[in-house]
Amino acid sequence: MNTEIIKKRISVRTYKEQEIAQETLEKVKSFIKQDKGLFNVPITFTILDANKTGVSSPVIIGANTYIAAKYKKQKNAEISLGYAFEKLVLYATSLGLGTVWLAATIDRKAFEKAIDLKEDEVMPVVTPIGYAGEKRSLRESMMRKGMKSDSRIPFDQLFFQDNFDKPLNKENSDLWALPLEMVRIAPSATNKQPWRAVVEKDRVHFYEKKAKGYEKATTGDIQKVDLGIALCHFEIAAKESGLQGTFVQEDPGISIAEDMEYIASFVLEV
């Protein structure tokens, strides 16, 4: 996986009524067995045949295969799921498959039954996988327009230098330019883009800018899932830029607003 795959990947809600090649499906099955989450929180993936399990989404046309992901309730679970699920989504993209993150617009009871969800588990999201249709349906086009799916918050409103009082311009972001840009273009629930980051010399601190209505018992904190996506993108771009480092959770004590929460830091290896 690389930044070209990140840039190439788009949400697909309209699919060809064509079975996924068996060789391709086997690659996906192999990948999800190896796909690891963050902070030692394991994620369980299940591939579902819609015809056999009855799972569905009213916004999806043509897809017969879905992948659901779940975790046991614990600290960092949503972050880990977002990180691992985005890796899967990007891998599927590299195989020529379409995907879309779905949380609210699914038959949740059918999916939870199909994956045998336990009381101590949460299934925040699923995705269809398949070959993208030749063109988007009218409904899909309207949904993308309504959510402003292709728009992104400017770089200097998301990223800061040393503290939240100093906006960071892309031109001055030096070695962090590509990783931060890949965070900026990441997908998020209703395109809310809840990530914020503060850059120091050898590390980047990530925060969640919380919005009301994104945390439910059935899905957990979806915006923390979004932060997991952001960390996935950052790590891929950092490696591509020759930056070796690890994610840690060591709150730097930077002054933050009430609607912000520290998530993690990426620290360069010396």
Q: What is the DSSP string of 92-148?
A: HHHTT-BB--BSSSS-HHHHHHHTT--TTEEEEEEEEEBPBPSS--HHHHHHHHHHT
Please give the sequence-ordered ranges of beta strands (E in DSSP) within 139-249, or none if there are none. 159-161, 195-200, 203-209, 215-216, 220-221, 245-248
Write down which residue in 103, 138, 173 finishes a domain.
138
- Domain CATH code at residue 64: 3.40.109.10
Per the structure, how many domains does the chain have? 2
Q: Are residues 124 and 175 in the same domain?
A: no
CA distance 69 to 225: 12
Beta-carbon neighbour count of residue 144 at 10 Å?
A: 16
- Is residue 147, in this structure, part of any structural domain at all? no
| Whether the predicted pLDDT of 146 surpasses 80 | no
- Is residue 12, in this structure, part of any structural domain at all? yes
Q: Are residues 187 and 87 in the same domain?
A: no
- Is residue 103, in this structure, part of any structural domain at all? yes
Q: Are residues 83 and 9 in the same domain?
A: yes
pTM over 0.75: yes
Write down which residue in 107, 138, 169 finishes a domain.
138
Indicate the DSSP class of residue 175.
G
Q: Are residues 95 and 217 in the same domain?
A: no
Write down which residue in 138, 170, 203 finishes a domain.
138
Q: What is the pLDDT of residues 219-233, one digit of tens each?
A: 999 999 999 999 999
Q: Are residues 131 and 23 in the same domain?
A: yes
Q: Comparing C-alpha atoms, which of 196, 189, 216, 225 is closest to residue 77?
A: 225
Residues 6+ apart with CB under 8 A from 195: 158, 183, 186, 188, 206, 207, 208, 209, 226, 227, 230
Q: How far from 202 is each of 72, 163, 228, CA to CA, in Å?
A: 33, 14, 21
Distance of CA 259 to the CA centre of its chain: 21
pLDDT of residue 137: 61
Q: Comparing C-alpha atoms, which of 99, 96, 26, 39 is closest to residue 69?
A: 99
Q: Are residues 99 and 196 in the same domain?
A: no
| Whether the predicted pLDDT of 120 surpasses 80 | yes
Domain that holds residue 216: 155-268
Q: Are residues 12 and 64 in the same domain?
A: yes
Q: How confident is the model at residue 188 (pLDDT cuts 50, 70, 90)?
A: very high
Indicate the DSSP class of residue 170.
G
Q: How confident is the model at residue 147 (pLDDT cuts 50, 70, 90)?
A: low
- Is residue 27, in this structure, part of any structural domain at all? yes
Q: Are residues 28 and 86 in the same domain?
A: yes
Q: Comparing C-alpha atoms, which of 252, 247, 220, 219 is closest to residue 232?
A: 247
- Is residue 144, in this structure, part of any structural domain at all? no
Q: How far from 234 is each of 3, 32, 49, 116, CA to CA, in Å?
A: 10, 21, 32, 33
Q: Are residues 67 and 17 in the same domain?
A: yes
Beta-carbon neighbour count of residue 259 at 10 Å?
A: 12
- Is residue 206, in this structure, part of any structural domain at all? yes
CA distance 64 to 13: 12
Q: What is the DSSP string of 59-97?
A: T-BS--EEEEEEEES-TTHHHHHHHHHHHHHHHHHHTT-
- Domain CATH code at residue 223: 3.40.109.30
pLDDT of residue 270: 76
The backbone torsions φ and ψ at residue 45, rounded to the nearest 5 degrees and listed phi first, read: -105, 145
Q: How confident is the model at residue 129 (pLDDT cuts 50, 70, 90)?
A: very high
pLDDT of residue 139: 61
| Whether the predicted pLDDT of 42 surpasses 60 | yes
pLDDT of residue 143: 58
CA distance 209 to 202: 23
Q: Could you report how far apart the first and last alpha carbons of the chain are, in Å? A: 25
- Is residue 143, in this structure, part of any structural domain at all? no
Q: Are residues 121 and 166 in the same domain?
A: no
Q: Are residues 75 and 117 in the same domain?
A: yes
pLDDT of residue 252: 98
